[in-house]
Structure formats: C-alpha cells, structure tokens
Amino acid sequence: MPVILNAVAVANATVNNNLVSGSAFEFARVQSIYSIGIFASASGAFCTIQGGSDIIAEEFPVPVSGIAANNPSGAAMTTTSQFPVIPDEMYFTDVLNPGDRLVMRFRNPTAGSITAAFVVQITPTGQ
C-alpha cells in the first residue's frame, strides 16, 4: 500500500499551502482510503486538511510529538519516532476519488521554525 512519509520545516510566521505538494500520491489515481497522522516539533502550529471537495479537518492545533503527559516540566522526551504511529495516531480518514487532491495546509504563526512530520497511508478500495 502506498505511503507518504515526510518531514517539512515551515519557517516562522509563514504558511505551507500543501505539505504533500509534488508527491506522486498528492492526487488519487483510484478510489482510495487516505489515513493521515501529523505531528509538529513544537507547539503553536495549525493545520487544515482537505481531500477533493471534502474538508477532512478544519484548522486545528497540531499535536506535538515527544511530549510526555506526565512530565511536569513539559520537556520533550526521547521517542522512537518523530512520526505518527500507525494506526494509533492516524486521526484523520477520508475516501478520495480518482483525481481528488489531498491538501494539508500548515500554518506557523510562531517566532521559530516548526517541522511538520506526517504519514499518509493510502489504501485502494478496489472499486
């Protein structure tokens, strides 16, 4: 099954209009289920996800990877991966039809660069 796995740095006070732009799987070739997970390297970033004409997720604060809920200091903990874990952290799912475009708009209003680490798992439906 096809997968998009990438980490993209987004400069301070800028927007990346499509994190998956240029991917071979940006446009659905056949009807497929797209499952998406995304993390940010620091807090303060926002993401909007759209598949074709479907709004999969309105703008939301992107979860930060490596933060332990029980760590009082909030300091990043060592993790085995900076990417979302399949299937546990794949929070968004939609069916895209042939020609539909996946758009992941990432907004960084903070004073520092933030890296977006994401996984898109693509499962053709066979239809």
pLDDT by position in tens, the chain (length 127):
899 999 999 999 999 999 999 999 999 999 999 999 999 999 999 999 999 999 999 999 999 986 544 455 555 544 445 899 999 999 999 999 999 999 999 999 999 999 999 999 999 998 7
Residue 76 lies in a domain: no
Q: Which domain holds residue 59?
A: 3-66+84-124
Tally of domains within the chain: 1
| 105 domain residue, yes or no | yes
Residue 54 lies in a domain: yes
- pTM given for the model: 0.88
Domain assignment present for 78: no
Is 41 inside any structural domain? yes
Domain assignment present for 79: no
Task: Confirm whether 73 is domain-assigned.
Answer: no
Q: Please report whether residue 77 resides in a domain.
A: no
Strand partners, 32: 96, 124
In this structure, what CATH number is given to the domain that contains residue 34?
2.60.120.680
Question: Residue 71 class from Cβ within 10 Å (0-12 exposed, 13-18 middle, 19+ buried)?
Answer: exposed
